[in-house]
């Protein structure tokens, strides 16, 4: 049942045209049927993002999921922008989806507080950085800041975490829940605690699997196979780590470790070494498995 709100979100801006940002933009345009401004200071990123939308729409048309006319309507709702202030000035909600760099996010939110309308919800897709900390940078707009952590890949995964900072108002929470439900997502709400819900559970699981490799408890294939074939996981933890990106896994484990000061969240030494080596998983062609050759073993 959808949440009822007095001022529903009718327009969206997404900051960041990477995989997550463009996925959020696509789902909002396709499911919520709202206009979406996609903002990125890189022409290359914008072109790549719009190209992804084109491919996804073509694929859905060829499979008969949508008609050509509907594909054109969805594409027509997405508008690229390079200027942040111009892209966000008249929207009901902004979702920031830039890399997990705290200084970058706080800089963006400081600007969003100055250039958005007083009613605009300011969402962040962060997977680990504290919402309260991000909201503190949005001077005068702290109550409008909320976490909206979409699961990857956004067009496929139904789940989204909605995270309240200390400053987040009940109205901001209600409007965000209502909008993400209209996007076709299944929401889970979380307090602003390190790792939120998904990564608080998932990343220690992945980290422990890496420690099992590091300490010789088992081979990577055996670890992944027993979790898939014995625990009904769709993907083994080491293969999943490669898909997420080992650098991302390490960054989240470091947040958990430093923010809680709990030794159970200490990142695996092997994980840190692999990141140092540039073996980051699928995106670099090598992680726990090799992805450089077509049909590489998973």
58 a known binding residue? Answer: no
Rounded CA-CA distance 11/32 in Å is 9
Rounded CA-CA distance 270/220 in Å is 13
Of the candidates 32, 96, 149, 268, the residue annotated as catalytic is 149
Could you tell me the CA-to-CA distances from 94 to 4, 35, 121, 172 in Å, in that order? Answer: 20, 12, 6, 12
268 a known binding residue? Answer: no
127 a known binding residue? Answer: yes
Q: Establish whether 127 is a catalytic residue.
A: yes
19 a known binding residue? Answer: yes
Could you tell me the CA-to-CA distances from 118 to 3, 86, 268 in Å, in that order? Answer: 22, 16, 44
Q: Establish whether 161 is a catalytic residue.
A: yes
Could you tell me the CA-to-CA distances from 235 to 36, 60, 201, 230, 239 in Å, in that order? Answer: 33, 25, 16, 12, 7
163 contacts 196 by C-beta, under 8 angstroms: yes
Of the candidates 32, 142, 161, 207, the residue annotated as catalytic is 161
40 a known binding residue? Answer: yes
Q: Establish whether 199 is a catalytic residue.
A: yes
86 a known binding residue? Answer: no
Closest CA to 9 of 110, 95, 71: 95
Structure tokens at 111: 């600007």
16 a known binding residue? Answer: yes
Of the candidates 37, 128, 199, 268, the residue annotated as catalytic is 199
Of the candidates 127, 128, 207, 268, the residue annotated as catalytic is 127
245 a known binding residue? Answer: no
Catalytic residues: 127, 149, 161, 199
Annotated binding site: 16-21, 40, 100, 105, 127, 152, 283
Annotated binding site for NAD(+): 16-21, 40, 100, 105, 127, 152, 283
């Amino acid at each position: 049942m959808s949440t009822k709100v007095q001022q529903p979100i009718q327009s969206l801006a997404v900051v960041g045209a990477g995989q997550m940002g463009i996925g959020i933009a696509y789902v909002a345009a396709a499911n919520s049927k709202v206009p979406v401004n996609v903002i990125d200071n890189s022409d290359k990123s914008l072109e790549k993002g719009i190209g992804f939308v084109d491919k996804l729409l073509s694929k859905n048309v060829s499979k008969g999921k949508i008609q050509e006319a509907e594909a054109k309507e969805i594409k027509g709702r997405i508008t690229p922008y390079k200027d942040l202030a111009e892209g966000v000035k008249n929207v009901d909600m902004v979702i920031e989806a830039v890399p997990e760099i705290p200084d970058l996010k706080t800089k963006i939110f400081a600007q969003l507080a100055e250039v958005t309308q007083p009613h605009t919800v300011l969402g962040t897709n962060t997977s680990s950085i504290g919402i309260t900390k991000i909201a503190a940078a949005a001077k005068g707009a702290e109550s409008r800041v909320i976490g909206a952590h979409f699961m990857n890949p956004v067009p496929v995964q139904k789940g989204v975490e909605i995270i309240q900072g200390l400053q987040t108002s009940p109205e901001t929470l209600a409007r965000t829940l209502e909008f993400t439900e209209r996007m076709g997502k299944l929401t889970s709400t979380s307090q602003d605690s390190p790792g939120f819900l998904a990564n608080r559970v998932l990343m220690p699981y992945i980290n422990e699997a890496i420690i099992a490799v590091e300490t010789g408890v088992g081979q990577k294939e055996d670890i992944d196979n027993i979790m898939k074939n014995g625990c009904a996981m769709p993907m083994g933890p080491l293969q999943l780590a490669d898909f997420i990106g080992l650098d991302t896994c390490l960054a989240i484990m470091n947040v958990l470790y430093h923010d809680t000061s709990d030794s159970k969240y200490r990142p695996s030494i092997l994980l840190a070494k692999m990141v140092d080596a540039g073996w980051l998983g699928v995106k670099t062609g090598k992680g726990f498995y090799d992805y450089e050759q077509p049909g590489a073993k998973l």
